[in-house]
Amino acid sequence: MAPNAQQIAKESHVNHLLAHDKTPWYNKPNLRLLYIMLLPACLGVEMTSGYDGSVLNGLQSVQPWLNYFHNPNGALLGIMSAAFSIGGVFAFPFVPFCNDRWGRKSSVIIGSAIIAVGVVIQTASINIGMFIASRLILGLGIPFAIGGASQLIAELTYPKERAVLTGLFNISYYAGATLAAGVTLGTFFWTNDWSWRLPSLLQIAPSCLQLIFIWFIPESPRFLIAKGKGEQAFDILVKYHAEGNRDDAFVKAEYAEIEQTIRLELEANKRGWLDLLRTPGNRKRSFIAACVGLFSQWSGNGIVSYYLAKVLNSVGITDKKTQNILNLGLMIWNLITGINGSIWCRVLNRRTQYLFSYTGMLVVFICWTIASANFAQTGNLQAGGAVVGMIFLYYPMYNTMMPLTYNYVVEIFPYSTRAKGIAITQLLTRAGSGFNQFVNPIGLQNITWKFYVFYDCWLFVETSVIYFFYPETRGPTLEELAVIFDGPNAYLGGQDVGAALDDEYDKEHSSVEELEKPSAAYVENRV
């Protein structure tokens, strides 16, 4: 039986050495600069996704947009929304190849450039066909940017901050959503086409930031090692994880573990898609990656993300300005609760965070369904207000889980299949979102509140799958986590170096009460 995450972390020599570092990240100049540059270069990727959902939500309450496209509804509105996700599905086969062949930075650059082209076409749209085509292009670029950025953050950051920063990456979705909601509210009273063209144009802002700041970010050390550029990778780890100290014990052990593990993985794997199915561990990883992607979109959130106006209309809130104000308020609330969920990644176990989130969503969504049914049957305005309240209660539950999306997938996959694992999550995210974006307006229009019952049942299924299949991953390094899935067959190197450095460090400091940063005793290069 494979050991659990707590056992692995407890026995990890790399983690023992990491524990000796008591200096916070903001007191480390190089690491602080890295994080400042990562903010616009990588966190902005999810802002584009969030902006897209929120801007389309807001535009459904902007009369010039409704007039220009002849008040799209039902299946047509579904296609206009789903085109963004359908474009992402088309990108699925190419994203891992780009990440593994040309690097994480190149993937971000390619994705951002495609998104910029899509934004220009969307802003200049003269008919529904052109608008849908632009959204297909936007969706095509998103997986490239997200795939590269999520791996850059996980593989560059110091282990102590990895979970929080990867969580913030996903939560930056709401920063984009808040911006879009504010812009559409600001142009709400405009009577010309710029009331919707300007919000469309501003979607290019995150991609422009990425294309500017990505050049100041180093490439992933793990990618460089896989390409035979170990010395360059070691220099990056030294600069950002040891503030330039080439004799730092932790960085030596970290590099040894990464280098030897990747070498063993690449020797054993053929680096094709079938690697995801060859072993029981990889099959379980692939199943979880698919669930993470699908569950992130099929938990009821898709109803509000793109069709808040429809939901509010169904409970008697029909004033367009009120709808836009509620959209903005909800996005700000999501940003606040999402940041809180990201911070929880540092202190809560992954399973605890997942199960708390999905159980909470299930309970709140049942109440949401009951309130909607009450309003539909009685016209009770208090029941309509309760639906709005349930929406605002639902999202703190959802946002407890949301920061884990890429955090968890990055953790469960080893380097050799990580890009493909993230691509699976992206595929199911886009496919699930596309299906929802097409089906949700039809369901809301034809069966109203009864449509919510499906999500009540599905949330129960999701919670059960998480309980029975998701392992705990908090604690060990990215390389050590392979043991949870592969047991004794896991490819894990660098243990001898880590043990030697750990033992020597403990001997040197055996008479010291408080262990500080490793000293110059490690001048001898063991890597």
Residue 176 lies in a domain: yes
Q: Taking the mean position of all CA atoms in its chain, how far away is CA 482?
A: 21
Structural domain for 311, as ranges: 5-489
- 515 secondary structure, DSSP code: -
Residue 514 lies in a domain: no
pLDDT of residue 526: 37
Both tokens assigned to 405: 């999306």
pLDDT of residue 404: 92
What CATH number has the domain bearing residue 363?
Answer: 1.20.1250.20
pLDDT of residue 82: 80
Write out the chain's pLDDT in tens, 527 residues: 556 777 776 777 788 888 888 899 999 999 999 999 998 888 777 888 888 877 877 787 788 988 898 888 777 887 887 888 888 888 888 998 898 899 999 999 999 999 999 999 999 999 999 999 999 999 999 999 998 998 999 899 999 999 899 888 888 888 888 888 888 888 888 889 999 999 999 999 989 999 999 999 999 999 999 999 999 999 999 999 999 999 999 999 999 988 988 888 787 666 678 888 888 999 999 999 999 999 998 888 877 776 777 788 878 888 888 888 888 898 899 999 999 999 998 889 999 999 999 999 999 999 989 988 888 888 888 888 898 899 999 999 999 999 898 899 999 998 888 989 999 998 998 888 877 777 777 777 776 778 888 889 999 999 999 999 999 999 888 888 888 888 877 767 566 655 666 666 566 665 444 434 444 443 344 33
Residue 495 lies in a domain: no
pLDDT of residue 514: 44
Q: Cα–Cα–Cα angle for 303, 307, 308, nearest 5°? A: 95
Q: What predicted TM-score, i.e. pTM, was given to this entire model?
A: 0.82
Residue 524 lies in a domain: no
Residue 135 lies in a domain: yes
404-412 and 280-295 are packed helices; what angle lies between their axes, rounded to 10 degrees?
170
Residues 6 or more apart in contact with residue 23 via CB below 8 angstroms: 517
* Half-sphere exposure in the Cβ direction for 38 (13 Å, CA): 29
pLDDT in tens, 20-65: 888 999 999 999 999 999 988 887 778 888 888 778 777 877 889 8
Residue 505 lies in a domain: no
> CA 80, CA 470: separation in Å to the nearest integer?
35
Residues 6 or more apart in contact with residue 202 via CB below 8 angstroms: 51, 179, 180, 183
Residue 515 lies in a domain: no
Residue 483 lies in a domain: yes
pLDDT of residue 92: 84
- CB of 457 closer than 8 Å to CB of 216: no
Instruction: Quickly count: other Cβ atoms within 10 Å of residue 267's Cβ.
Output: 9
> CA 62, CA 298: separation in Å to the nearest integer?
27
pLDDT of residue 312: 85
* Count of structural domains within the chain: 1
pLDDT of residue 149: 92
Residue whose pair of structure tokens reads 């026995």 in the numeric block? 11
> CA 372, CA 384: separation in Å to the nearest integer?
7
> CA 443, CA 231: separation in Å to the nearest integer?
57
Mean residue pLDDT across the chain: 85
Instruction: Quickly count: other Cβ atoms within 10 Å of residue 29's Cβ.
Output: 10
pLDDT of residue 283: 94
pLDDT of residue 523: 32
